[in-house]
Amino acid sequence: MSGLGALLRRELLEQWRTYRLVVVLVVFAVIGIVSPLTAFYINELLAALGGEGLRITLPTPTTADAVAQLIKNVGQMGAFIAVLVTMGSVVTEKERGTAAMILTKPATRTAFLAAKIVAIGLLLAAGVALAFVLAAAYTAVLFEPLPVAGVVAGGVLVWLSLVDLAAITFLASTVAPSAIVAGGVGIAALLGSWTLSVLPGLGQWLPTGLWGIAGDMLSGRSPAVDPAGPLLLNAGLVVLCLVGAVAAFRRQEL
């Protein structure tokens, strides 16, 4: 893949210059901090919101509540971020004519796409890692320490789920006529995964199903299902989307 290194540097530099890296890291940092804080102070928050006439008291919050908040917040917000940062990655370059300019240099189309998806994967990895590290630190202070191996494994699974949605959106961005359409495909994939996840025996195989497995690992519990199958299936989905994107892009006239 001629030119991959130079193209990857270009993508990473663009993330910095457009403040995309900073914004994404700030959002994930806030999620990592707020999640255990919300779980710990949930009763106080409900009391403040309920006023004098309505008082709702939940059971004393535990580490499991902090973990549940983290997985839900990182998964949901991270999914939307994955779609947003990916939806215009290819189609916008084609619309502006920059893709054609770049490919006149000694760079292959495969390298052009690979640099983009690798940069997006690194961006999401940095965000998820920051959120999990901050959440683990605050959870250790407010509740109890989380298992390090569980934090790492849980973070990898959540990251993979976000990369799944990014890969689907990336494929759409390669073949769709606009970034809006590509973003719609990514959101539809997210909503479809959420909807189908309630079906017995199917949920754990979907990108959003990885969140439940990640929550078990983060809490130090043995997952209800063997994570190897869902992990391989979702990794295969990423590969399939990227192969499809490369095949489609090679046939396009720029």
Which residues have a Cβ under 8 Å from the Cβ of 56 and sit 6 or more positions away? 46, 47, 50
pLDDT of residue 163: 97
Query: Hey, where are the domains in the chain?
Result: 4-250
As a whole number of angstroms, the distance between CA 102 and CA 115 comes to 12
**In the numeric block, which tokens belong to residue 36?**
């255990």
User: pTM value?
Assistant: 0.93
Tens-place pLDDT, residues 27-71: 999 999 999 999 888 777 766 665 555 565 667 888 999 999 999
- The pLDDT, as a whole number, for residue 50 is 57
